[in-house]
């Protein structure tokens, strides 16, 4: 292989990898025009590029959802948005509230939800009375598993895994009690 063709190929691959991964790929050997290129030096440069490409391919595979349970181990910040419209005997209500907390998933399949707070308000009908909704829940421990790209919870619920495990999402709507919920868990470590 001619030296200038090799240098151009290395530069093109390096620029492509640098742009795709937002990182600079360096090769261990630099060649000078007119000087012989030793096979060991050329092979070392190719090995450095192959290592960088394989690392990038593994990262892309995880982003595309090729995860194992251990990839999800860590802490997630919860943002929960909930609305309700309910009826009772001669009455009804509309409520809206938000919740926060921390979900910690361990690689062994155990989990903890802690710091769960909830705040919002409810308006009762026909009186028009408005009530504040504020509460803090005790920490809860439970088990979890990963199946089909979802975090499966013991109550039968699940969280969809997105963005390579950096985001867990759940939505629900219950027509029987008028409740809609959006849960977002964003990876914090």
Give 84's strand partners. 95, 179
Q: What is the pLDDT of residues 106-131, one digit of tens each?
A: 999 999 999 999 999 999 989 999 99
Q: Which two tokens stand for residue 121?
A: 């308000």
**pTM > 0.75: yes or no:** no
Q: Where are the domains of the chain?
A: 3-63, 69-187
> Can you spell out the DSSP letters for 35-73?
SPPPHHHHHHHHHHHHHHHHHHHHHHHHHTT---HHHH-
Residues shown for the chain? 189
Select the CATH number that applies to the domain covering 69-187 from these four: 3.30.70, 2.40.160, 1.10.340, 1.10.1740: 2.40.160
> What pLDDT score does 6 carry?
46
Q: What is the pLDDT of residues 14-54, one digit of tens each?
A: 444 444 445 688 899 999 999 999 999 999 998 988 888 88
């Amino acid at each position: 292989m001619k030296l200038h063709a090799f240098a151009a190929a290395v530069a093109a691959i390096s620029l492509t990898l640098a742009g795709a991964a937002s990182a600079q790929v360096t090769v261990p050997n630099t060649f000078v025009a007119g000087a012989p290129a030793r096979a060991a030096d050329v092979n070392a440069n190719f090995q450095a590029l192959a290592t960088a490409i394989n690392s990038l391919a593994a990262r892309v595979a995880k982003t595309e959802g090729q995860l194992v349970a251990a990839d999800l181990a860590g802490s997630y910040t919860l943002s929960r948005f909930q609305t309700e419209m309910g009826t009772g005997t001669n009455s009804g209500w509309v409520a809206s509230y938000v919740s926060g907390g921390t979900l910690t998933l361990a690689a062994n399949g155990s989990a903890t939800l802690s710091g769960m707070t909830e705040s919002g308000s409810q308006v009762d009908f026909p009186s028009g009375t408005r009530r504040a909704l504020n509460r803090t829940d005790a920490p809860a421990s439970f088990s979890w598993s990963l199946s089909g790209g979802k975090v499966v919870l013991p109550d039968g619920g699940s969280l969809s895994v997105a963005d390579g495990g950096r985001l867990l999402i759940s939505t629900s709507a219950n027509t029987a009690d008028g409740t809609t919920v959006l849960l977002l868990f964003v990876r914090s470590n």
